[in-house]
Chains A and B, each alone.
Chain A
């Protein structure tokens, strides 16, 4: 079982560039989410989805877009990268609400120059 797969593992961008972070899960989970992890700040929720076609904002959504066309995939798009978006990004999936175990990918380390 692959679980949650994130690609790429590392990426360096220049300010203003756009890119998409990919996330795929093979557990048929309805709930998927994106977090960013910065030193000393734990994980902060960016966007989440409760099923295909349904997305909503988390705590820090500005500068990021998401869509959910299938149950398996939940890509995160940076439209115009800024140095403040330098971080480690984690995708997670679960069967449902917050008390359900979250299954995390191994992260994408993103640097914006």
Chain B
């Protein structure tokens, strides 16, 4: 069974600090996606990483896909209160690419 484990579960930091959240698996994924979810809303896609070792940047957010395609990280530089939310990683099952597996998420609170 493919699983995605995210860490930490909760993170509370001061505005301006840097942080990294992780998404790990013992299985290979063909791609991984990162979503952000705000209270009362559905998840919104931030990025998709496809190639092992790939690094993508979205303003202050940097996403990396592990060389072996078993893990990914999200690094936020100079966090702002607007970054507050639930960060979810997701990837398609190897035996059925129509079935998306989600991690349990990292809940981030950025205090002003």
Contact = CB atoms under 8 A, between A and B. Distances in A.
Interface of A: 4, 31, 33, 35, 40-45, 48, 50, 56, 58-59, 90, 92, 97-99, 101-107
Main secondary structure of the interface of B (DSSP, over half): loop
Given A43-B43, A104-B43, A106-B40, A99 B97 contact: yes
Q: Bin the interface of chain B by size.
A: 20 to 34
Contacts of B99: 45, 48, 58-59, 98
B33 A33 contact: no
Q: Which of A90, A92, A99, A101: most chain B Cβ within 10 A?
A: A99
Given A43-B88, A43-B102, A99-B30, A106 B97 contact: no
Given A92-B42, A104-B43, A41 B104 contact: yes
Interface stretch (B14-22, B44-52, B55-63, B64-72): B44-52
